[in-house]
């Protein structure tokens, strides 16, 4: 009995030691909101909560990766200094005059004129155009994607890369080690045998300590061909039904002009961060007669700030008339939630377009916990029905659009490497509004009264899921 008593006392002491250590340690290493979630978990199950926090609680990257990103950012800023003819200066007293300087300081890229932007809203057609551009490439093909599956789409992309390599095109492929695990397992060796260079990004296993926290991911979707064409958006390299029961709807921008060089620079930066190899990036790119102004916004834990969150919040704050946000995952932090509330209460027409179906159950429950507050302050919420709406974009008034891979959740803001492209152009915003109207035509519009009539057990489920927002 004495031994059992001593053992119980020892375990109780360890239990409380973990709780007290976490109380003083965790708040100093993470945001208050995230700290509350982790302290709650550690308080309930200390022996489980502490190991989980050590693995997933702090979005750390290796010092070498942070150093390489800083080096890449410096090169990008220096190279742009001599391109004054391409720089666009926004008119004073406009929304762009507030947003563009912030985005440049955060993500390094200046706004450039002389671009063309084609929005591709059809899944299969977008892939066909992408493969056609691979087949048309003469010097270089660079692909950077979060997800690639071993399915007919993967087969078609690989076949086009092998054809390109056979005619002497230099092909490089970067794929996220987790998101593209199936594609890497099936295609990496055949591609290498054909002369295509393939690297996985943020690898796990025994190599994870040389990269960063195990669940940090590169979520970007970028393609660059020669100096002529680039792609940025939400679409991965897989069939739309790669998650059974959730066929995806996406939005991709096919671009020409100086922005292609900027996409090339993002690819070269990620290549350097993963491999240590510095790629030669062409300095001059053909200017398009369309003369659309664009600006890239890369973000991720290698940067000093949460670029995506800060830029999105700035766009919300500058909106004066209409703001439309489309995202598959909506788990905002306090700053973003506050920005949306202020915009709606200030009289801005704020429309949030989400997917009625969702392949992430916990995320879906958590995002539902925000609906009551948003509806109460005047935010309109529409749930798109026909597909899993995986597109990620935002439009501000008639002048600014943001298109890319950025979700409106804490994971995209703090943990993933993401890419967005801002377009300061009424024509692009008008085209995007047509896409948004198409979503709304097939959507269920929520009302505050109907939402509050949901069962109590759903409210409880939403509240519990929301406590886990920092773990998503």
CA distance 199 to 272: 11
Quick check: is 397 catalytic?
Answer: yes
Catalytic residue (one of 200, 226, 270, 409)? 226
Check whether 173 has a pLDDT greater than 80.
yes
| 201-240 confidence digits (pLDDT tens) | 998 655 545 666 677 899 999 999 999 999 999 999 999 9
Q: What pLDDT score does 164 carry?
A: 98
Catalytic residue (one of 121, 142, 176, 219)? 219
Catalytic residue (one of 199, 221, 262, 393)? 221
| 77-104 confidence digits (pLDDT tens) | 998 888 888 999 999 999 999 999 999 9
Check whether 30 has a pLDDT greater than 80.
no
Catalytic residue (one of 142, 262, 317, 390)? 390
CA distance 266 to 258: 13
Token pair 């099936």: residue: 186
- Contact at 8 Å (CB) between 94 and 335? no
Tokens coding 236: 């991965």
- Contact at 8 Å (CB) between 377 and 341? yes
- Residues 24-44 have a mean pLDDT of 68
Q: What is the CA radius of gyration of the chain?
A: 23
Catalytic residue (one of 142, 199, 317, 392)? 392
CATH class of 307-471: alpha beta
Q: Residues of the chain with pLDDT > 70: what percent?
A: 86
Span(s) in the chain for CATH 3.30.870.10: 63-296, 307-471
SS3 137: coil
Q: What pLDDT score does 210 carry?
A: 61
Tell which residue, 253, 222, 248, has the closest CA to residue 419: 222
Element (H, E) at 171: strand 170-176
CA distance 210 to 60: 11
Q: What pLDDT score does 14 carry?
A: 65
Q: What pLDDT score does 82 carry?
A: 81
Listing DSSP states for 229-279 in one string gives EEEEES--BS-TTSSTT--EE--EEEEESHHHHHHHHHHHHHHHHHH-PPP
Q: What pLDDT score does 1 carry?
A: 46
Check whether 352 has a pLDDT greater than 80.
yes
Q: What pLDDT score does 472 carry?
A: 53
Tell me the range of 25-39, 44-58, 113-127, 355-369 where mean pLDDT is highest.
113-127
Our measurement of the distance from residue 183's CA atom to the centroid of its chain's CA atoms, rounded to an integer in Å, reads: 20
Quick check: is 226 catalytic?
Answer: yes
Quick check: is 390 catalytic?
Answer: yes
- Of 24-38, 131-145, 183-197, 259-273, the one with minimum mean pLDDT is 24-38
State the chain's mean pLDDT as an integer: 90
Catalytic residue (one of 150, 349, 397, 442)? 397
Tokens coding 90: 């926004």
| pLDDT-based confidence at residue 27 (cuts at 50, 70, 90) | low
DSSP 300: S
Tell which residue, 396, 114, 98, has the closest CA to residue 262: 114
| 354-364 confidence digits (pLDDT tens) | 999 998 888 99
CA distance 422 to 442: 26
Check whether 470 has a pLDDT greater than 60.
no
Q: What pLDDT score does 265 carry?
A: 96
| 432-448 confidence digits (pLDDT tens) | 999 999 999 999 999 99
Quick check: is 392 catalytic?
Answer: yes
**Residue 441 CB coordination number (10 Å):** 9
Q: Residues of the chain with pLDDT > 90: what percent?
A: 72
Check whether 351 has a pLDDT greater than 80.
yes
- Torsion sign over Cα 133, 134, 139, 143: positive
Listing DSSP states for 196-228 in one string gives -EEEEES--GGGGGGTBSTT--B--EEEEETTT
Instruction: Answer whether CATH 3.30.870.10 is correct for domain 63-296.
Output: yes
Model pTM? Answer: 0.90
- Of 17-26, 123-132, 346-355, the one with minimum mean pLDDT is 17-26
| 387-408 confidence digits (pLDDT tens) | 999 999 999 999 999 999 999 9
Check whether 44 has a pLDDT greater than 80.
no
């Amino acid at each position: 009995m004495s031994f059992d008593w001593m053992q119980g006392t020892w375990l109780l002491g360890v239990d409380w030691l973990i709780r007290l250590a976490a109380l003083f340690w965790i708040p100093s290493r993470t945001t208050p909101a995230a700290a509350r979630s982790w302290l709650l978990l550690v308080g309930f199950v200390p022996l489980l909560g502490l190991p989980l926090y050590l693995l997933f609680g702090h979005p750390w990257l290796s010092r070498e990766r942070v150093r390489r990103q800083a080096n890449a950012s410096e090169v990008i800023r220096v190279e742009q200094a001599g391109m004054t003819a391409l720089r666009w200066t926004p008119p004073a007293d406009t929304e762009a005059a507030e947003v563009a300087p912030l985005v440049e300081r955060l993500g390094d890229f200046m706004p450039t004129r002389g671009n063309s932007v084609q929005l591709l809203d059809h899944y299969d057609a977008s892939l066909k155009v992408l493969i056609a551009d691979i087949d048309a490439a003469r010097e270089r093909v660079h692909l950077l994607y979060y997800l690639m599956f071993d399915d007919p789409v993967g087969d078609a992309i690989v076949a086009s890369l092998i054809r390109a390599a056979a005619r002497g095109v230099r092909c490089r492929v970067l794929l996220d080690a987790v998101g593209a695990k199936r594609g890497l397992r099936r295609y990496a060796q055949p591609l290498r045998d054909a002369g295509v260079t393939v690297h996985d990004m943020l690898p796990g296993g025994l190599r994870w300590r040389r990269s960063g926290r195990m669940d940090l991911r590169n979520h970007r979707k970028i393609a660059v061909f020669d100096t002529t064409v680039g792609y940025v958006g939400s679409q991965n390299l897989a069939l739309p039904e790669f998650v059974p029961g959730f066929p995806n709807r996406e939005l991709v921008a096919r671009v020409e002009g100086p922005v292609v060089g900027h996409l090339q620079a993002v690819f070269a930066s990620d290549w350097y961060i993963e491999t240590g190899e510095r790629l030669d990036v062409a300095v001059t790119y053909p200017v398009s007669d369309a003369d659309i102004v664009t600006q890239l916004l890369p973000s991720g834990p290698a940067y000093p700030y949460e670029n995506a969150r800060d830029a999105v919040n700035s766009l919300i704050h500058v909106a004066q008339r209409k703001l439309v946000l489309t995202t598959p995952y909506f788990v905002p932090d306090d700053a973003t939630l506050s920005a949306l509330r202020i915009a709606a209460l200030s009289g801005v027409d704020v429309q949030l377009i989400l997917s009625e179906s969702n392949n992430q159950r916990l995320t879906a429950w958590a995002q539902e916990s925000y609906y009551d507050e948003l509806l109460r302050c005047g935010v309109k919420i529409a749930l798109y029905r026909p597909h899993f709406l995986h597109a990620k974009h935002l439009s501000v008034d008639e002048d600014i659009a943001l298109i890319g891979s950025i979700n409106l959740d804490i994971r995209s803001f703090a943990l993933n490497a993401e890419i967005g492209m801002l377009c300061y152009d009424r024509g692009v915003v008008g085209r995007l509004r047509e896409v948004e109207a198409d979503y709304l035509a097939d959507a269920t519009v929520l009302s505050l009264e109907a939402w509050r009539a949901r069962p109590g057990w759903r409210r409880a489920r939403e509240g519990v899921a929301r406590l886990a927002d920092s773990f998503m």
